[in-house]
Amino acid sequence: AQSVTQLDSHVSVSEGTPVLLRCNYSSSYSPSLFWYVQHPNKGLQLLLKYTSAATLVKGINGFEAEFKKSETSFHLTKPSAHMSDAAEYFCVVSFSGSGNTGKLIFGQGTTLQVKP
Amino acid sequence: KAGVTQTPRYLIKTRGQQVTLSCSPISGHRSVSWYQQTPGQGLQFLFEYFSETQRNKGNFPGRFSGRQFSNSRSEMNVSTLELGDSALYLCASSLWAGASGANVLTFGAGSRLTVL
């Protein structure tokens, strides 16, 4: 079965320090991978996506993610956290393959807290 | 370019009532998907509509239904409301059916339903 696991439910960093949000997936098919962000009382905004063109993906607001097939991971990073980065982050997968019609499967989310 | 518009943004209902939520996709997008977000279950796929046809359905009871009109606008309906239906209902639109790296979903701000 296809699934996605975010390894940390809560991450706290100081402003100006690096951010690492971890995500692993399991799949028998070729995945499309995404990171979405949700600010309080807002919808989901796409940060970046992986589509097999390049293993290192750059997104908006300085975020990056690296796809590692051998580790089935897609961790999200940012060199320097900003106060405005405080939000809920979701690792999301869709799978293309026999019997699959491309719905999104969400991780449980990681709350990022940024301290001044 | 207008984004995905969901109405109403907030609503309160009592158990046993029914509710209808509306979603207007981005102009030109023909697919609309619905997701339910709760603190306990996270984000779960409800259904997807493309060209007025339901393409895929998640694991929800028959009380949850939807439809799509010829202008791609979509509605979802929940009948005989239960306390557990309290959630943020998110609508997303995309150009084609099936979420993928080549067919990214854009989400609306959501409709927050409270059932008393």
Average pLDDT over residues B104-112: 94
How near does any CA of chain A get to the CA of B28, in Å?
19
How near does any CA of chain A get to the CA of B37, in Å?
10
Residue A26: predicted pLDDT: 87
How near does any CA of chain A get to the CA of B17, in Å?
25
The answer to whether the peptide bond before residue B8 is cis (omega within 30 degrees of 0) is yes
Residue listed under structure tokens 């949000």: A21
pLDDT at A101 over 70: no
pLDDT digits (tens, 9 = 90+) for B16-28: 999 999 999 999 9
Phi, psi of A83 (to 5 degrees): -55, -35
Interface residue A32 vs chain B (CB under 8 A): yes
pLDDT digits (tens, 9 = 90+) for B48-101: 999 999 988 999 999 999 999 999 999 999 999 999 999 999 999 999 888 877
How many CA atoms within 13 Å lie on the side-chain side of B20?
7
Cα-Cα-Cα-Cα dihedral of B2, B103, B101, B77, to 10°? 80
Interface residue A43 vs chain B (CB under 8 A): yes
% residues pLDDT > 90 (chain B): 86
Residue B53 CA to residue B94 CA, distance in Å, equals 15
Residue B93: predicted pLDDT: 95
pLDDT at A38 over 70: yes
Residue A41: predicted pLDDT: 79
Phi, psi of B41 (to 5 degrees): -100, -10
Among residues A67, A63, A66, the alpha carbon closest in space to that of A79 is found at A63
pLDDT digits (tens, 9 = 90+) for A42-98: 889 999 999 877 889 999 999 999 999 889 999 999 999 999 999 999 999 987 655
Residue A97: predicted pLDDT: 57
pLDDT at B102 over 80: no
Residue B84: predicted pLDDT: 96
Interface residue A36 vs chain B (CB under 8 A): yes
**CB nearest A101 (choices: B35, B42, B55):** B55
Instruction: Give A43's contacts in chain B (Cβ within 8 Å).
Output: 4, 90, 107-110
3-state secondary structure (DSSP) of residue A33: strand
